[in-house]
Structure 1
Amino acid sequence: MPNRRRVACALVTLVTVFTAVPATAHAAPDRSVGVFREVPAGVPLSKSLDLRKLPAAMPQAQRALVSGLDQNVPTPVTFDECHKDIRAGYWTKNRFAGCTITDMAYQRYACPEAGCAVTGTVWARVISTSNLLPAQRKLEVATRMVGWSLSGVVTDAMQFGISMSCSPRYTTGSAHCDTPSAQVVKSIADWRAQSDETHVFTMEGTDVPVATDSPAVQAEQRTWYVGERHLVAEDTGDRTTLVTGAHSASLRCDVARLLNPAYAAGSDCTFGFQPLYILDNSATSGFPASAALVRAALVNFPSTYPGTSQGHLAPGNPGYQGGSAGRSYPITRLFYDTAAQATHRATAELACTQHWGPGYATRPDGQVNACAVYPFDTTYDGATLPAPGVDRGPSYAVQPVLDSDYQALLASIGQFVVNNHILDGDGYWVYPYA
C-alpha cells in the first residue's frame, strides 16, 4: 500500500503476524514523526530500540505441531492459553481456533532524519484470538491489549486498536460477510480500564460450485472467505507512515452439518488447517493393540506387514515428536465412495489371510479378531494393491487384533473427523505420541 498523507486524527495500520517490513516516514524537517511497528519474535523490548533500524522478521517454516491434547475434541482458544509459536508466527489450536501474540511498539521522533532523538515511546502486548462459533457461520475475533508502558511526550490519551475485515475469497458467487469491516480504537487509558474487546462476523452466501466435484460435495456448498486484522494507531498532525501489511487467514464454510450431523459437526466453518489425531496413552487405553499397530506403521514401518514388500512409507505422519523424522503427507477422509471403502477392507483382509492364514479371526479364548489396518478404510489412502509397473510408493500395515479393540479405534477416529468438521477430501495427520 502506498504512503498516504494523514491529517487531524488519521489512523495508521501495522502488520500483526507474518512479516515486518522496514518502516519509513516523511515529514517537514521541523515536524516530529511517529513509527509504529511489530517487534519480531526474539527481539528484546528495550527503550533504546530504534524501530527505523529493526530487522525484518525471518520467514518461518510451516510445520505441523502438537498444540494440545484436546485436538481430538476441539475447544475454543482463550487469551490465557495463547502462546507464541516462533516457527509459524501464530498458534493454531484446532480447525476452529487460533491466536497471535504481538509485541507492539510505537516511537515518536523529533524529526524524520535517522539521527533524530526519540521523544516518546509506547509498548504493549497484544493478544488476538479467532474462534469459529459452534453450529454457526460466525467468526469471533477478540483482542486483549495489556502491559502498557509509556515514556516521553506520549500520554495515555493516545488511541490504539485493531481494524478487522471479512470478505469472500472469490467474487463469482454470492458469498459475503454481514460486516465487511470493523475496528475498535480506544485510548490507552480506556484499554487499561477494559483490556478485552470482541467482534463477531457472520459469513453468508455461497461460491459457484466446482464442476469437477461430485454431486455430493457440490451439495455441501463449500464457500471460502478471507479475514484480515491490522493494529492501528492514532497519528495526529501532518505526517505520513508506511503501511506494512496485514495478518490474513482463509476459512471455509458449508452446509455439511445441516445435511448430515453424523458426517460433520462443530462450527459450520473451519480454518485451512490439517489437524492431528493424537495417539496419547490416555486416549488409546480402550484400543491398545490397534494403537500399537498405528504407531508401528508411522514410527517403524519396516516392522509391519506388508510393509516394505509393497511400499516404503505410511502416509499421515507429521514427524515423530515434533521433528521431521518420518514426515510424509496427510491422509485424506473418504466418506461418499463406499465402494472404495469396501475395496480397502477387502485388500486389508486379503493381506491378513496371506500372512496369518484363513483362521486369523479365530481366537483361543472364543473371541474374534479383526484385521486392523492403517491407513484406515475411510481414507483415500487405505489398503490398495500396487499397480503393475508403478514405482513403489506408500503402503499400509495390517495386524489381527481383538475385534472390540479395533472397533474402539474406528469409533475414536470417526468421532475425531466429525468433531473437527473434516469433510470428504480433507486431510489430517495421525501423531504417534509415545
Structure 2
Amino acid sequence: MAMVAVVGVLGNSPASAEAEATIELGMVPMSQVSTLADEVGRKVSPAVRQPGQKPTRVPKSAEELDEIRRPGTQFAPVSSRIANRPPVPGSAAFSPVDDPITRAECQKFYENTEPPPDQWHKNRFNLCYGAILQARKIDQNGAVLAAIQAKAVFMISMNKNARSAVVSVELFDWFNVGGLFPTSQKITFGTGCWDPEVGGPECTPDTVSFDDTIANWQNRGIRQKVVEFSGTSAMRPDDPAPNEKRSFYQFVPYFYVQTGRGTETDFVRWPEQNLRCDVARTVVNDKYVRGSDCVFHKDVGILKLDASRPDMAESVNFIRDAFDNIGSTKPGTAGSYVPGKFGTPTSLSRLYYDQALRAANRDHSIETCIANYGRNYTVRPDGKTNDCDEYPFAGTHEGSHLAQFAFPRSFAVRPLLNLHNQMVGSELSTYLAQDHVVEGDRFQVHVYN
C-alpha cells in the first residue's frame, strides 16, 4: 500500500512559504491510529521527490503472464471467510454472485485486520480495497499547514450471467484538522482496466474516473459505474479449455490530486487485481458453471459442508476423518495426507473434461474399498445400501488414481450410506457451478459442526 508522499518546493522566504505550498497525498491502513492532528504546524521532511505517476499498462514477461493466468494462488484469511457468511444448511445452493460486497463489510474487515491484505475477496465475485486516504498542504519549508483524511473503499462486484462488473468507490468519515484544509481541493479516483498483455482487449470503458471537490465527495456518497469486459485474450498452447475462450483483465485503482505546482499531479495506488472471463456458461452449460461470466480466478474457492446435517453426516464426517485422522480410513498409510482442507496451503483442482481420468479415479477407489472391506461392502446391517465414498473427489485432479503414486499425498475411502454420499455429490456439483469453478480452478473444503 502506498504510504505518505511528500512533495516539497524549494525556497527560503517565510512570506512566500504558504504561497508556494503544495498538496501531497498518501494512504495508511484503516486499522492504524491516525496521528494526522499532531502533524499540523509541525515540520516534516522537506526532501524533494518526484510525485507518484499514473499507472499504465506495461509489457509483461511470459513468466509474469503465466502467473497472472494461473488460478487459485490466493488463500483467504480463515477468519474473514468464515465470519463473512456463516455456513448454513443448504448453503451450497446459495449463489455468491447474488451477495455483492457492501461498504460496511469492507470497512469492518479493514478496520479489524492487521496487517491488512492488499485486497479482500468476500467471494470469487466480489472484492474490495480499504484504506485511509490523507492529504496534506505543506509549505516550502516542510511545515504542514493543513491536513484532511477520509476512509476510502473501492469495490468490484461481478454482474450475474454477464460479462461485466459494477465498480464502486466511496470516501467517508472525513476529518479536516481544525477545518483548515480547503474543501475546494479536487481529488480524483480512477482505475485502469485492460488485458495484462499489451495489445490485448481493453475494458469498456478502459478507465473509470470520478473527479470532484472534497466538499462534493463529502456530500454525494458512493459513486458507481458499470465496466464491460469485451474481446478475447490470445489463446495459448497450454490452455486447459480452449472452447471456453478464457480472457484476462486487470484493474489498477488509484487516487490523485493536483499538487499546486502548475499541472503536476501526485498519485497513490492500490495493487492491481486480476480477473478472468469466459463463455463456459453458454458454450458448455449452466450446470457446469454459472453465477457470472467473470470471476476472480486467483481466489481459492470454498465448499462448505455441515457435518451435523442428518442427510449427509456420514459422508461429511468421513471427509473430516480423512483430513484429521487418515489412519481411520483406507488405505490410511502412515505419514500420508489428503489435500484441500480449508485453512491449509493445499487445494483441489476441478477435473471436468477428462472423463477417462474421472472413471479411473472412481474405479481405483472401488478397488480399494473391495481390497479393504470385502466385496460385500455395500451391505449394511440396517438393510440399507453403502457406496464406496472417496476423498479427494473423483472429479478432481487429485483423485485416487494419480494419488496412489503421489506419496505423501494420498486418498481415502470408506463404505457409507449411499444417500449421504450422493447428497455430498449434489452439494459439490451445485457449489462448483455457483462459484464458477471451471476446469483446473482450485477450491478447498471446509467441514464445520
TM-score by length of 2: 0.81
For 1:305 and 1:64, the matched residues in 2 are separated by: 31
> How far has the Cα of 1:178 moved from its partner?
1.5
Do the aligned partners of 2:137 and 2:147 also contact (CA within 8 Å) in 1? yes
Give yes or no for the alignment of 1:163 onto 2:190: yes
For 2:433 and 2:287, the matched residues in 1 are separated by: 7
Q: Could you tell me which residue of structure 1 aligns to residue 303 of structure 2?
A: 277
For 1:82-231, list aligned pairs within 5 A. 82=106, 83-84=109-110, 85-87=113-115, 88-111=117-140, 113=141, 116-151=142-177, 153-171=180-198, 173=200, 175-213=201-239, 217-231=241-255
**Equivalent in 238, 252, 260 of residue 276 of structure 2:** 252
Higher relative helix content: 2
> How far has the Cα of 1:170 moved from its partner?
1.9
**Equivalent in 368, 372, 375 of residue 358 of structure 1:** 375
CA, structure 1 residues 134+62, in 2 after alignment: closer, same or farther (shift >3 Å)? closer
For 1:357-396, list aligned pairs within 5 A. 357-384=374-401, 392-396=407-411
For 1:207-356, list aligned pairs within 5 A. 207-213=233-239, 217-238=241-262, 243-259=267-283, 260-271=285-296, 272-281=298-307, 284-308=309-333, 312-319=336-343, 327-356=344-373
For 1:317 and 1:51, the matched residues in 2 are separated by: 52
Do the aligned partners of 1:90 and 1:99 also contact (CA within 8 Å) in 2? yes
For 2:160 and 2:114, the matched residues in 1 are separated by: 29
Amino acid at match of 2:249: Y
Amino acid at match of 1:224: F
Q: Percent identity?
A: 26
Give yes or no for the alignment of 1:423 onto 2:438: yes
Q: Could you tell me which residue of structure 2 aligns to residue 402 of structure 1?
A: 417
Do the aligned partners of 2:256 and 2:266 also contact (CA within 8 Å) in 1? no
> How far has the Cα of 1:228 moved from its partner?
1.2
Do the aligned partners of 1:37 and 1:51 also contact (CA within 8 Å) in 2? no
Aligned length: 392
Amino acid at match of 1:332: S
For 2:256 and 2:415, the matched residues in 1 are separated by: 60
Do the aligned partners of 2:126 and 2:158 also contact (CA within 8 Å) in 1? yes
* Residue aligned with 2:205, SS: coil
Q: Could you tell me which residue of structure 2 aligns to residue 8 of structure 1?
A: none
Q: Could you tell me which residue of structure 2 aligns to residue 27 of structure 1?
A: 9
* Residue aligned with 2:104, SS: coil
> How far has the Cα of 1:91 moved from its partner?
1.4
> How far has the Cα of 1:433 moved from its partner?
3.0
> How far has the Cα of 1:303 moved from its partner?
3.0
For 1:312 and 1:41, the matched residues in 2 are separated by: 42
* Residue aligned with 1:257, SS: helix
CA, structure 1 residues 176+384, in 2 after alignment: closer, same or farther (shift >3 Å)? same
Do the aligned partners of 1:316 and 1:430 also contact (CA within 8 Å) in 2? yes
For 1:274 and 1:230, the matched residues in 2 are separated by: 26
CA, structure 1 residues 35+199, in 2 after alignment: closer, same or farther (shift >3 Å)? same
Amino acid at match of 2:118: G
> How far has the Cα of 1:375 moved from its partner?
0.4
> How far has the Cα of 1:307 moved from its partner?
2.1
For 2:310 and 2:256, the matched residues in 1 are separated by: 49
CA, structure 1 residues 239+181, in 2 after alignment: closer, same or farther (shift >3 Å)? closer
> How far has the Cα of 1:62 moved from its partner?
6.0
Supply the RMSD in Å over aligned alpha carbons: 2.4
Q: Which portions of structure 1, spanning 4 or more consecutive aligned residues, are displaced by more than 6 angstroms? A: none
Which 5+ residue runs of structure 1 have no aligned equivalent? 1-18, 54-60, 320-326
Do the aligned partners of 2:118 and 2:270 also contact (CA within 8 Å) in 1? no
Q: Could you tell me which residue of structure 2 aligns to residue 48 of structure 1?
A: 38
For 2:119 and 2:189, the matched residues in 1 are separated by: 17
CA, structure 1 residues 86+275, in 2 after alignment: closer, same or farther (shift >3 Å)? farther
CA, structure 1 residues 179+258, in 2 after alignment: closer, same or farther (shift >3 Å)? same
CA, structure 1 residues 244+292, in 2 after alignment: closer, same or farther (shift >3 Å)? same
> How far has the Cα of 1:101 moved from its partner?
1.4
* Residue aligned with 1:371, SS: strand
CA, structure 1 residues 328+26, in 2 after alignment: closer, same or farther (shift >3 Å)? closer
Amino acid at match of 1:378: G
